[in-house]
Chain A
Amino acid sequence: MVERLTRMLPALLLAGFLGMAAAQEAKPLAEDPMLEAKVMAIAEELRCLVCQNETIAASHADLAVDLRKQIRQKLQQGQTQAQILDFMVQRYGDFVLYRPPVKSSTWLLWGGPFLLLAVAVAALVLNIRRRRTLAAAPLKADEAERVRRLLAEEKSSS
């Protein structure tokens, strides 16, 4: 009996954890699933400032919960996504946007990868050209002499 119980223990524990997870997740959503989907779509665009690598949609931070509430209210008031994102930027700055706008302070962010690509391509082209000129350069007199000698040695040894 005891053995059977211990064998079942992992399953029991798992069942317990699943129950807990479900209990946590079962918070009632807003009555309107369409609205909730919209709230989440906008929240996905916003960075949570408390835990900076999470979106407001994913974060459990208090502030993220509050901001989701704000988004919901503003949507109910008939505001557009652009208006809501603008509301957030006015308060928290461009940092809240997961897609930062292109402007003078972010051109390096947007252009940097292309700049690196250009440098890499330039290096590659230079390298290829240099190799080509190396291959095409004619042998100097002493080099030609050495080649002849080596070839002659090989012939005599075979």
Chain B
Amino acid sequence: MKRYLIPLIVFVVLVGFLAVGLNLKPREVPSPLIDKPAPAFSLARLDAPEQKLGLEDLKGKVWLLNVWASWCVACRQEHPVLVDLARQNVVPIYGLNYKDKRDDALAWLGRYGNPYIASLSDSEGLVGIDYGVYGVPETFVVDKTGTIRLKHIGPVTPEALRDTILPLVRKLNG
């Protein structure tokens, strides 16, 4: 009996490691920017390119930064969720239009709805690099002091909104 004990323990430990490994999401790399000041930017508005919008303009409120693009398939999946959220008026959503063509982006918003207070044109993707964006869509929660509090990688789902994003927004506003 004792002879089988050690292989059994080794096997159980191995299974434990594999079980944890299977449940990890290697696509979701933790961002080093959490609880750090949001990188500064000053970008042209998508709807009015002659106007610039910067990080300083957004201080004093809790807001979401949603990175999107018209070429991004998963963005279409999350878009109705954002449109719905915008209707509820609980938190302002700003868009970072990442490596997109202006005409395509405007047409896309025209077709699927525009949940954004404003979208910013990051046509070169440089602000995206500053924010460590590696897979669109990504969504950041920024607090009143301009500190990044959360990064959601991939499409925003109703569950993610209900369980993490909105509770955090309420806490930061409260």
Instruction: Give A contacts to B, CB under 8 Å.
Output: 49-50, 52, 62-63, 66-67, 70, 89-95
Give the interface SS of chain A, mostly helix, strand, loop or mixed: helix
Residue of A nearest to B26 (CB): A52
Q: In the complex, are the beta carbons of A95 and B29 less than 8 A apart?
A: yes
Q: In the complex, are the beta carbons of B31 and A93 less than 8 A apart?
A: yes
Q: In the complex, are the beta carbons of A92 and B32 less than 8 A apart?
A: yes
Q: In the complex, are the beta carbons of A89 and B32 less than 8 A apart?
A: yes
A-B CB contacts (within 8 Å), total count? 36
Q: In the complex, are the beta carbons of B99 and A62 less than 8 A apart?
A: yes
Q: In the complex, are the beta carbons of B30 and A91 less than 8 A apart?
A: no
Q: Provided the pairs A52-B26, A66-B125 are in contact, do residues A90 and B134 lie with their beta carbons within 8 angstroms?
A: no
Q: Provided the pairs A50-B134, A89-B32, A91-B33 are in contact, do residues A67 and B129 lie with their beta carbons within 8 angstroms?
A: yes
Q: In the complex, are the beta carbons of B135 and A50 less than 8 A apart?
A: yes
Q: In the complex, are the beta carbons of A91 and B135 less than 8 A apart?
A: no
What is the total number of residues of chain B having a CB less than 8 Å from a CB of chain A?
15
Q: In the complex, are the beta carbons of B30 and A93 less than 8 A apart?
A: yes
Residue B158 at the chain A interface, CB threshold 8 Å: no
Q: In the complex, are the beta carbons of A90 and B29 less than 8 A apart?
A: no
Residue of A nearest to B27 (CB): A52
Q: How far is the CA of A62 from the CA of B125 in the complex (A)?
A: 10
CB distance from B156 to the nearest CB of A (A): 19
**B59-78 near A? 1/0 per residue, CB < 8 Å:** 00000000000000000000
Q: How far is the CA of A118 from the CA of B133 in the complex (A)?
A: 41
Q: In the complex, are the beta carbons of B130 and A91 less than 8 A apart?
A: yes
Residue B131 at the chain A interface, CB threshold 8 Å: yes
- Select B134's contact among A70, A89, A92, A94, beta carbons within 8 Å: A92
Q: How far is the CA of A91 from the CA of B132 in the complex (A)?
A: 5
26 A/B residue pairs, CB under 8 Å, sorted by A: A49-B29, A49-B135, A50-B134, A50-B135, A52-B26, A52-B27, A62-B99, A62-B125, A63-B125, A63-B134, A66-B129, A67-B129, A89-B32, A90-B32, A91-B32, A91-B130, A91-B131, A92-B29, A92-B32, A93-B29, A93-B31, A93-B32, A93-B132, A94-B32, A95-B29, A95-B30
- Residues of B contacting A67 in the complex (Cβ-Cβ under 8 angstroms): 129
Per CB-CB distance, the 8 closest pairs between chain A and chain B, nearest first, are A49-B134, A91-B132, A93-B32, A95-B29, A92-B132, A66-B125, A63-B134, A50-B134
- Residues of B contacting A66 in the complex (Cβ-Cβ under 8 angstroms): 125, 129
CB distance from B90 to the nearest CB of A (A): 29
Residue of B nearest to A53 (CB): B26
Q: How far is the CA of A67 from the CA of B134 in the complex (A)?
A: 11
Residue of A nearest to B30 (CB): A93
Q: How far is the CA of A92 from the CA of B105 in the complex (A)?
A: 26
Q: How far is the CA of A94 from the CA of B29 in the complex (A)?
A: 10
- Residues of A contacting B30 in the complex (Cβ-Cβ under 8 angstroms): 93, 95
**B8-40 near A? 1/0 per residue, CB < 8 Å:** 000000000000000000110111110000000
